[in-house]
Structure 1
Amino acid sequence: MTMTGESQGGAGRDGPLWWDRPQGAVLDGGIAAVSAAECAAEGVAFAHETGIPTALGVLFGVLVGAVVLLRWRWPVAVVLVGIAVAPAAMGIVLSVVGLYTLAASEVPRRITSTLTVLALVATFAVMYVRTSGGVGATHGVVLVLSGVLAVALNVVPVLLGLYMGARRRLMESLRERADSLERELLLLAERAEERAEWARREERTRIAREMHDVVAHRVSLMVVHAAALQAVAAKDPVKAARNAALVGDMGRQALTELREMLGVLRAPVQVRSAVPAPVAVVAEPVAVGAAVAAGPEDGPTLGELEALVGQSRAAGMAVDLDVRGAGGAYPAEVEQTAYRVVQEALTNCHKHAPGAKVVVRLAHRDGEVAMQVENGPGAADVARPELPSGGNGLVGMRERVQGLGGVFVSGPTDAGGFRVSAVLPGVAGPG
């Protein structure tokens, strides 16, 4: 009775009726039948004592006993009915079940305490009156017997109901916490997937930017040399052969750099087995990024700017390199970013301003390094090489510089040329 009744939930003044709870319908129906049968049997004695017809007494007992069906909706009313019929010596099952339900429900404890005291007094009084006329029963024995029966029929059901109510509330609390934890885990999984997707997008963007910066410059120089080779092939075979050798060198360098990048991308990512699976889902794209980002230690440095400028000079571009200040020990990513900015700016000069005068400035300051590539207007008599442009060069430079906490500015000059300027902190910023 106790476990099944409590398992239905909703115990209290606003709980469901017994027929609204299919799992408890059979049990409540059985309790109601027992209560009605008990009250009907006691109704016979009640009819004899009051002089009313026996059938009326039985009907009254059946109606009183059936009130137990309402115990989950109106437990207070059921207990009050039990107290009211206590002088008629009927409704023991009704009273016991009603008090248990009242204590297990959400009815305020002060009401439960008041009704329990009333039921205890009523039961004690009825028992005392009923047993005081017993043969050989002393007054003390009657008091003790009445008190024991009153406690057994009223206090015990209330204590059991309080225990079951507390247990039910604890189970509901644990269930709510489990549901809340499940929702939090689902939310964490969704956020982990979002972070993983964000990391994958960032990694794809970074790889695309790296491929653009590494290959575009080499290929642009190869196209420029190939155009020069085509122009002088018939007039100056020696120069043509030199240009052909330069094209071959550029191609081999481009292939070497591509193989190095692909080798890094193909390298297996080491993930410790001790890391839980949800963390590994997030850590994998980051680990890939870390593996590829390990390249800056082996990448280009500021010391290679002279060779970079020399390649553009060999392709026929008039380039001046102006370095000011003493270079410091910059992080690898700072030096590589500075190199890539100059490289991409020179590539754009080859594409959009052939024959123009180009000045590359590099300044080492306290705590930062600044670079600027400025070209004048392109020469009108120099053929513009057919170099495709993806439109991502300036975007990639800006992303690189801002990723290290630097400042990037680009735009046309008053003289009709174009200027690219960047300032990087001497230590790696929030990349």
Structure 2
Amino acid sequence: MVVRAIMARLLEDLAYFPVVGLVGPRQVGKTTLAKGLAGQFTKPIVYFDLELESDRRRLTDAETFLRQYTGYCVVIDEVQRMPQLFPLLRALVDQQREPARFLLLGSASPELVRDSSESLAGRISYIELMPFSWPEVLSQSTIQEHWLKGGFPNAFLAPRLPLTFRWLTNFIQTYIERDLRLLGYELSGRLLTDLLKMVAHVNGNVLNISDLSRSLGVSQPTVNRYLDLLTGSFVIQRLAPYSVNVSKRLVKAPKLYIRDSGVLHQLAQTITYDALLGHPVAGASWEGYVIEQIRRVVGNDWSFYYYRTHAGAEIDLLLIAPNGKKVAIEIKLSNAPTVSKGFYSSLDDLQADYQFVIIPTGESYPKDNNLWVCNLTDFLINRLPEIYTE
């Protein structure tokens, strides 16, 4: 059993908010986490799964049915299947506002679920549950294994590597053929498959909509719509460019990353560690993996950017902490990294409070001035909490 890092946050929010939304991709353990609340929670829990026809029938007259559970924490799984419930939940909460009336589990972001944000505004706290992060599994794995397999529980815990990537293949196909259509989107499965493969090929690069549009033979608005769906269903992430109070000519398009490294490696057909290290995707894959692990540790309270000027100055990741501190990060797939002039030039532009080069393993050490070379584990477990509390 892997202990999920967000359990404490989930319990804290349930103790205050009348509705909590636990969102994330399918098969990351949302249901397991919700059912694990029994024994840790003061209210009795009743659970409904909207994937089951029997539970959907119970909610045909949802108002009458839910009123009998006013003293419970009502867990509604796959809530995006019935977005019409949200106005009713708002009304029930307003009639009897108390903590933990509803726990909603969903496989799509609030932006993809029609009317959810508007209907429950001021009443709901959203928490994102993603696949296993590296700190959650470091006691039972190596960082190389976690990077290769990704964090989806069924993929990561598979007893043999072929089973890992067989599961990932099925997951990708199921996502394309079923999940987005269940949200009411009419999609071309072939187009979405081709787009995913192309995103894997350009993972970590600056987004060029016109190139994707031309290669796929569809309009730029169509590409943008599909990218929005991939983002809203937690498959890809856009990393925004940083341009605040900087007077230089900057690259202003976002960079694209597939969020789970195992999904990326399956799409790129790099299904062994040796194959990964010899594949052109390796450097960008490691970069995206590091960014995603940081995101899973700090959540949505921090801001994430990259910085690049047309003159060549670049920072792979610029973090801005809730306390306003800037953290400039160069990401290297080497334990003996060299740092470019462009990185030092960017530091002069941004005046970052902290500067790191993140490497896979090895000892952390100061390089020069305020720059530290730091392995990923040390950075996630020791350095980030220090930055947040200073």
Which TM-score band applies after superposition, normalised by the shorter structure?
Answer: under 0.3
The two structures have a TM-score, normalised by structure 2, of 0.21
When normalised by structure 1's length, the TM-score is 0.19
Higher relative contact order by CA 8 Å / sep ≥ 6: 1 or 2?
A: 2
Q: Which has the larger radius of gyration?
A: 1
